[in-house]
Structure 1
């Protein structure tokens, strides 16, 4: 029987819970700063959440494929899972509650969180199956350096490139020209085309941590801490010339977020796998159906925003205002309370599915 690394399951479920929390405040007009994304450059705790999930995707790839060899059957399963993830993401971007149940084509957003997870999973899985860690390290370094050179030094139609939110930003330029109206914003998409390349490295760095965890006995915590501290420091040094930026998924952002992921995972690993302390089970349960729980939270949230009364007030607003907004409570606290309630509901759903042995593999 394959040994379970409890900390990986807890980390995955905790990340999903945080993804739900930051995506479902009571009102977007009243959110505590740590639960907001950075306006452009820089990062907040919220900006760590999605790269943490891509990181643990890489770690999980090691556990899933360490005893497998490249073969048509293995590749077929990888492709099928990739298409499922992309399909679910496109569905979320296209669905509307009224007939004909799909947005006009020009309004459908093509990129998205699940689409990026699908593409990153595909690339990282194929790379892991075919290359050793030394080649993977070379690929990661090449992508991160190449992305910096592309974004910072190659002119765009005669103009010097920029890292700012502008037309002469390579990531924005490519998205605008290839995706057109199918973007999150009119001028950029945080899960856009070019920035998917460094996002793959987020998963590759997770693969390295997975290799540490399944490797021969040794001080695995020390290895994760050294990798974590090293990447955080290197990322912040790189920030001086290539700003940390989630929307662009810059190379410095990749290193800093993977560094913090290693440090957080090392902490959980110490208490759960080394000390044997029993905690975080509720996150393990959600992590067992991570994609299903995330998809349901996004889908139901979309429905709650789309159902409106005659005055145009959404069901989401009605629930928030009638249950969570009270005199004496700040709007930020009420908004957080709503998000925590929603997150708690999906954690309980994950627990119920786990108890009923319902595991939906996406």
Structure 2
């Protein structure tokens, strides 16, 4: 495979890289790379860094809390770019809407199906990122033809609606807006699913996180315009900084705490700000400065993003990781390697093997879409 990728005029390599990076990070979690590193207790400084690869327990923000917002935002950008390409081919909004609905239905079924696999039985749970994306994609597409400011205001109204719902609908046992398991989102889950997620996730996150998908649409629209590249970067940076100021400002002023598990408005703004800054940096580095020699490492994974996600969430976590561990442990025992290092080696081998699968699919031009 050619290791140097030249960015064509109609292809944003930076977005492909970011999509692949997100999937590699998620695969690392599924292969237990971060868990193995945490168990090694490498020292105070290293432990602080490793902890960033786990969700914050409740009020606060870790690096890992940015992965889903990045996933949502990238989906919005891809949808916008794909839609603009289809318009040039004569495909109307209405015709493409059918495709969006069908794709969203597939995402919904995959997301709910994954929870059945996790549980080992049929369950009705709406907490998976694919289930969330099914709804946020439809919301973002419905206003994709609207003006920039309409979409921005609409996304902020979604956050305002969330604030109002959490603060005003106070049911018995669910009357503490920002307390885990006792908030409006948890109450809605009892209505939708008859249960509450023990880790505090809520299905109604589809409302505020739709803002991330909408902002992805706007970022995608910006990046494919004829605007000078430096100006595009500046716009993304300004938007990102605005998100950080507003998000952390709401938190520091004790108005709305940053809580990822219920996607508070402050979380959506702060995480969206960080993700937009990431997009700006990668676009500047890869598409503008053409520093893309090793971009293929990430692109081969991003080309089959949904497939590899389903793979490592099912076959990977339930079978493949264990099989890899058997052989790695056998060799490690023979070499006298300790159990903690063996666990890390097994996780890394599983991760590399999954990357290798993506590389093989890419090399043979096999792209599994939904």
- TM-score interval, normalised by the smaller of the two chains: 0.7 to 0.9
Residue equivalent to 1:148: 163
- The answer for the alignment partner of 1:18 in structure 2 is 25
SS at match of 1:79: helix
Shift of 1:284: 0.9
CA contact (8 A) 2:76 2:220 kept: yes
Asked if 1:233 is matched to 2:245, the reply is: yes
Scaled by the length of structure 1, the TM-score of the pair is 0.84
| CA drift at 1:166 | 3.2
Contact 1:82 1:122 in 2 (8 A): yes
Question: Is 1:289 paired with 2:304?
Answer: yes
What residue in structure 1 maps to residue 225 of structure 2? 215
- Match 2:12 to one of 5, 24, 29: 5
| Pair 1:177–1:72, CA change in 2 (3 A) | same
**3-state SS of 2:203 partner:** coil
Q: 2:71 corresponds to which residue?
A: 53
Pairing partner for 1:345 from 344, 353, 356:
353
How big is the shift at 1:90? 2.4
Tell me the residue number matched to 1:311.
none
Instruction: Note if contact 1:282-1:348 (Cα within 8 Å) is conserved in structure 2.
Output: no
Change (3 A) 1:158 1:338: closer
Deviation larger for 231-240 or 130-139: 130-139
Secondary structure of 2:151's partner?
A: helix
Q: Which has the larger displacement, 117-126 or 192-201?
A: 117-126
Gap change, CA 1:315 and 1:276, over 3 Å in 2: closer
Deviations 1:163-188 (A, max 9, x none): 01133x0011111232124x6x3474
Range that drifts further, 286-295 or 30-39? 30-39
Mapped contact 2:174–2:184 kept (Cα < 8 A)? no
Q: 1:78-227 alignment to 2 at 5 Å?
A: 78-95=100-117, 103-105=120-122, 107-128=123-144, 130-157=145-172, 160-167=175-182, 169-181=183-195, 185-186=197-198, 188=200, 190=201, 192-218=202-228, 219-227=231-239
Per the alignment, do residues 94 and 338 of structure 1 end up closer, same or farther by CA in structure 2, a change over 3 Å counting? same
1:35 is displaced (CA, Å) by 1.6
Matched residue pairs, number?
Answer: 342
Structure 1 residue 76 and structure 2 residue 98: aligned? yes
Matched, 1:259 2:259: no
Secondary structure of 1:111's counterpart equals: coil
TM-score under structure 2 length normalisation: 0.83
Unaligned runs of 5+ in 1: 97-101, 308-313
Instruction: Report the Cα offset of residue 290 of structure 1.
Output: 0.7
Contact 1:228 1:260 in 2 (8 A): yes
Pairwise CA distance, 1:34? 1.6
C-alpha deviation, 1:316, in angstroms:
7.7
Equivalents in 2 of 1:285, 1:358: separation in Å? 11
Q: Which position in structure 1 is the counterpart of 2:368?
A: 360
Instruction: Confirm or deny that 1:276 pairs with 2:294.
Output: no
Distance change >3 Å, CA 170–CA 17, structure 1 → 2: same
**C-alpha distance in 1, partners of 2:173/2:112?**
35
How big is the shift at 1:337? 4.4
Structure with greater helix share of residues: 2
**2-side partners of 1:253 and 1:320: how far apart?**
40
Distance 1:208 1:336, change over 3 A: farther
Q: Do 2:258 and 2:266's aligned partners in 1 also have CA atoms closer than 8 Å?
A: yes
